[in-house]
Amino acid sequence: MDNEQLIEKAFDFIQQMYAELTIDPSRIQDRKKEIMHEIKATGSYTHTYDELSQGAKMAWRNSNKCIGRLFWNTMTVLDARYASKPKEVAGALLHHIRTASNGGKIKPTITIFQPGKIRVWNHQLIRYAGYETDKGIIGDPDSVAFTKEVMKLGWEGKGTQYDILPLVFSIDGAIPSFVEIPNEDVLQVVIQHPDYDFTPLRARWYGVPIISDMRLEIGGISYDAAPFNGWYMGTEIGARNLADTNRYNLLPDVAKLLDLDTSSNATLWKDVALVELNRAVLYSYQNKGVSIVDHHTAAKQFQKFEQNEEKAEREVTGNWTWLIPPVSPATTHIFHKPYKNKIVTPNYFYQSKPY
């Protein structure tokens, strides 16, 4: 974008942010002048930490696909704009994992690197590898393409169903670096059931979903590397990651363990298996003391978020197809309500893969 467009976007953000924080109007005008001079001199401008922090929080608040927005203002914002060397980037990413994991009491966290310099190749900082073999895919099918790229860099996994992928990132478009995540930094939960023996499934999942391949836009400035996390809603794991036929596809195995009649769809064996797998996920995370929320509670929290936004006279935007949970959606108020899928900035955006 040209300077005038950037100035307009910057001014819109500064006006909204400073007004929300009830900052003296004279300070708003002073800051706008500073930004305008910087853009005219350099073609860009630099956010203060307060602008970076509030902008990241506002981006979460504006994320149409997220049901967990009630907690937008609690996000821990880590400024990693200093990082320009592989050791510094790796250190910042590992620090994020430790900060967010917090011994199981998950902290919503974002780490923001300088714009236009760093790209994190991972979809999530913590994720399982996927391997194509003669006997089918081992691990997470959704990770097969990325796993191949990482192996080209020289990484070798153990070839199990749950190998933790390394952190992969590039600086200034150079050949990417990869760094193993220490085992002690990866919070994992073995999936057990309160009533049935799920040991034969040998299923597990990681504790913190840290999205790392989206672009954060604040006031016209794009941060290509800005990994962020909340905590899991149980259905993300139990109804999607472990259940989808193109992921770990555990429903047939769960049905066998429960001795369900799978001879016909009309027995609703898939539904029974799905609910029990989701019960197991919630039980396992809660039993280990790892933050997680069930979809009914999450929907109630979103309702509270809507009420808060109404009081603040802000329109709630949303992507209905993402907001409804994949299990029993009609039992939530979200299912019965329309939402405008209007994109408001600051926000997080998808971007093309670097590989």
Q: Which residues are catalytic?
A: 66, 69, 231, 236
Q: What is the 3-state secondary structure (H, E, C) of 65-117?
A: CCCCHHHHHHCEEEEECCCCCHHHHHHHHHHHHHHHHHHHCCCCEEEEECCCC
Place of tokens 């050949």: 175
Using the 8-state DSSP alphabet, how is residue 274 labeled? H
Q: How far apart are CA 129 and CA 139, in angstroms?
A: 6
Q: How far apart are CA 96 and CA 109, in angstroms?
A: 7
Using the 8-state DSSP alphabet, how is residue 167 labeled? E
Residue among 130, 351, 76 nearest 223 (CA): 351
Helix/strand/coil for 281: helix
CA distances from 160 to 131, 157, 165, 218, 306 (A): 9, 8, 11, 40, 43
